[in-house]
Amino acid sequence: MNQTILDALQYYGAGAATFAALIVSLNLGRRWTGWAFVVFVTSSMALIAWGFLQDDSEGIGWQNIALLAINCVGVYRYLIRKDRPEGGKEKGGAD
């Protein structure tokens, strides 16, 4: 595999995850958090590809398979599901 493509997958995955974590940490509300989880999904996909295409990096690939599932739950919870959790208000936050 072309090293440039592998580098792009690796650095996109790391940068996108960092950006998404920043957005989640700012607690800007459901829609922003939901879109941050979309970015997390793309990050996981890039790191899965990188992990299985790069020699000796399968651990990152497997880890990101698990994170992809978790991130999909986040997309569902914050962007797709219309009702709020019990009590009508999110814990800890501004909506």
- Domain total of the chain: 1
In a domain, 91, yes or no: no
Contact 52, 58 (CB under 8 A): yes
In a domain, 38, yes or no: yes
Q: Please write the tens of the pLDDT for every residue from 25-79.
A: 999 999 999 999 999 999 999 999 999 999 999 999 999 999 999 999 999 999 9
Task: Quickly state the pLDDT bin for 93 (edges 50, 70, 90).
Answer: low
Instruction: For residues 30 and 77, give the distance between their C-alpha atoms in angstroms, rounded to a whole number.
Output: 9
Contact 20, 39 (CB under 8 A): yes
In a domain, 20, yes or no: yes
In a domain, 32, yes or no: yes
- Look up the pTM and report it: 0.85
In a domain, 75, yes or no: yes
Q: State which residues form the domain around 42.
A: 3-80
